[in-house]
Amino acid sequence: VSGDNIYIAWITNKTGNDQVMFRSSNDAGATFNDIMNLNNATDAKLHDIQIAAGAENVVVIWRQQINATSDEPVARISADNGQTFESVANLASNGTINVIGT
């Protein structure tokens, strides 16, 4: 929660693939915007989702396991109260964060 903004993120497996879903309210929960799929993964297991917000910024972080040896933290960041998000960023990379698609 940040001011009148409420942000909710969760993992679902409704389609047979783990997905990170996001929903926001900009009027203290009186109404909510449409559900957004933040990762659109087709081959990953997702877990440990976290969300943080402050001012206009929203950060959603989760761990993404693509195979038995790959379990990496990734994030999507919004600078407009959760209306849009940057591409998925791989946080396990040293140096410049590697964008791995939407």
One pLDDT digit (tens) per residue for the chain, 102 residues: 999 999 999 999 987 889 999 999 999 999 999 999 998 777 888 999 999 999 999 999 999 987 777 788 999 999 999 999 999 888 887 665 555 544
Query: pTM for this one?
Result: 0.86
- pLDDT at residue 10, as a whole number: 96
Residue tagged 């440990």 (tokens) = 48
Distance CA 21, CA 40 (A): 9
Decide if 81 contacts 24 (C-beta within 8 A). Answer: yes
